[in-house]
Structure 1
Amino acid sequence: MNGRTIFLLAALAGGAVLPVQVALNTLLRRYVGEPMQVTFISYLAGALASLVVCFIAQYPLPTAAALGQTSWWMWVGGCLGTFYVWSTIFATPKIGAALALGLTIAGQMIAALFLDHYGAIGLTRFEANPTRITGVVLVVLGVSLVAYVKR
């Protein structure tokens, strides 16, 4: 296994758990009610799980000096995650998990292509060459096929 393989497998595994997360959150909505309430519960459970992992791994708390070097906009990631979780809980019952996640992936790929191309928000720059653009177009076409379902 080369050095890159572990990162590829981690990303694949992270993607594989998303449909399970969406299904569990959608099921929880039946009992709790509103998508934002389920989003809160999901993030609370995730925060507790993260806290336990940090405790077990004995990660030190970040220093005030390190936190002081950040900008306010660096903290928006959690808000964006909240929007993502809410959007899937909101949309999945009406359009299905496959289409909800397909659109999520298409949106991720389009946005990521731009972020990579410009090296935005501190990312390493990866050019949006014809091969990468074609890959994103194929993802969008695949999602279009998933969306073309007659009930």
Structure 2
Amino acid sequence: MSLEAFRTEIAAVTADIAAELAGRQPDAALDAWLNARHGAGSATFERLSALCRSGVAEGWLCQREGGGIRYGRVFKPDAELHQHSVDVVDMTDIAGPHHSHPNGEIDLIMPIDPEARFDGRPAGWLVCPPGSAHQPTVSGGRALVLYLLPEGRIEFTR
């Protein structure tokens, strides 16, 4: 597995997202569409999950650690990624720092432990609309979470 293969896969997903959104903001409809098209058990989900697991094991993902969370920005927003930044976190039964999403946030939840949940959600996608905020929390074990941030925008609460 490689960073290049990961970028190629992410570019395909962000192209699909951009086409589906067609000028509107991330919302509940995108959440449902992503889970139906690229959700748990789909080929896309399996490829991204395998790439993320491999990236963590090989050390090219989640290269930083703070407060019990391994994390890292993998790619900054650019045209190939349809202006989404890409971050991956590795969390086990922990709440991360509270933050808001000026342009929304699109998350792929990949449980390592079968019962792991991210903000109460199992394997699959979670779309947070623009202006939303949360304290990202993994419960029930360990999970990897891939974050797509439109224009890379995130605001951490002080």
TM-score (norm 2): 0.28
In terms of fraction of residues, the more strand-rich structure is 2
In terms of fraction of residues, the more helix-rich structure is 1
Task: Mark the structure with the bigger radius of gyration.
Answer: 1
TM-score (norm 1): 0.29
